[in-house]
Amino acid sequence: MAGPLQGVRVVEFAGLGPGPFCGMLLADLGADVVRVDRRSRGTGLVGALGATSLLDRGKRSIALDLKDDADLAVVRALVARSDVLLEGFRPGVMERLGLGPEQAHELNPALVYGRMTGWGQTGPLAHSAGHDIGYIALTGALGATGRPDERPAPALNLLGDFGGGGVFLALGAVAALLHARATGEGQVVDAAIVDGTAVLTTMIHGMLDTGAWTDARGANLLDTGAPFYDVYRCADGTFLAVGALEEQFYAALLTGLGLAGDPTVPDRADVAAWPALRARFAEVIGSRTRAEWWQVFAGTDACVAPAWSLLEATTDEHNRERGVFVEVDGVVQPGVAPRFSVTPGSVGGVPAVGQHDAQVRAELGM
């Protein structure tokens, strides 16, 4: 595989969600990621995801028992030759296995030791179980999401696990790798989902400070409080997303809706008139199907888009032409991002558990 990270060696301890997602990002960009799998993945959620998870694409797999001395020797050899280590266990688990940062840096002083947790390595919740919904709740991101008269709704597990977690671990790993390459000194990257998710809300906190945002859900520009930044139901029951914030885009929206120059349209600058404006938009948009509206707005500056389902998105004209989704081994999936002009990444296949045992052992001389 080509990519800007070609030549970077990563050892990833198999897990769920953000850790494997970070490994996938590195593999997509050309890193050689060796996933250390358990000999048996079980039958629960872990087993259900198992080797069929697209988060494992482009990686190699070796199946080991971390409680077996001989297999631990293989792991230590992997650590000694790797540039980056990724693990997502609760704090203390790797130390009990004899694979904590101190032991790992004795084997490899330049190692970037990436740790992925929800709560972080320290703090009163560090040793507690958790999932995306709890992490984003604690940062305020969940409470700020949704309409004022409804319960906060998590955006799948994208905001915390992947946005606040896996992406930040990947950024941290690459940044620490640059430092290690320059100095020969490795370090620990403590990537906590609560930390990363909080960083994602930085702009909103800035708006809170200036009074441009209120600490109330569904009452602001970007949280469906504004009728010109919301989602509307079409005549066929599907939805249309409207994001016409700027004046010129709003003008294009009114033109497309057939409301330009209509004196009965409530003034969008009057917050008190927002409910009436939303009702007017809902009435007009609800008179046509999503396909009909997309014929009107596609290619305009009205900032309107159809709210496709996950499967519908894979067949969208723009997404097809740009290659946003690719097909690998018969599976349609998102392609590589970001894109590089000289060293483009690529999407690899998903390995079976232990598929590369012999190959990896041979490389280690074992």
Query: Given phi > 0 = left and psi -120 to 50 = alpha, else beta, which region is 214?
Result: beta
Among this protein's residues, is 161 annotated catalytic?
A: yes
Catalytic residue among 32, 37, 56, 161: 161
Query: Given phi > 0 = left and psi -120 to 50 = alpha, else beta, which region is 318?
Result: alpha
Give the residue among 60, 68, 67, 72 at the shortest CA–CA distance from 14.
60
295: how many CB neighbours lie within 10 A of its CB? Answer: 10
Among this protein's residues, is 131 annotated catalytic?
A: yes
168: how many CB neighbours lie within 10 A of its CB? Answer: 23
CA 130 – CA 138 distance, rounded (Å): 11
Catalytic residue among 105, 131, 179, 301: 131
- Helical (H) or strand (E) element with 255: helix 247-257
CA 118 – CA 122 distance, rounded (Å): 11
CA 133 – CA 130 distance, rounded (Å): 8
Pair type for strands 331-334 and 325-328:
antiparallel
CA 175 – CA 161 distance, rounded (Å): 20
CA 213 – CA 352 distance, rounded (Å): 49
CA 249 – CA 301 distance, rounded (Å): 6
Please, what is the end-to-end C-alpha distance for the chain in angstroms? Answer: 25
Compute the residue count for the chain. Answer: 366
C-beta pairs of 291-294 under 8 Å, 24+ apart in sequence: 291/236, 292/234, 292/235, 293/234, 293/240, 293/256, 294/240
Please, what's the b/e burial string for 191-210 (b: 16 or more CB within 10 A of its CB; e: otherwise)? bbbbbbbbebbeebeeeeee
Known catalytic residues?
A: 131, 161
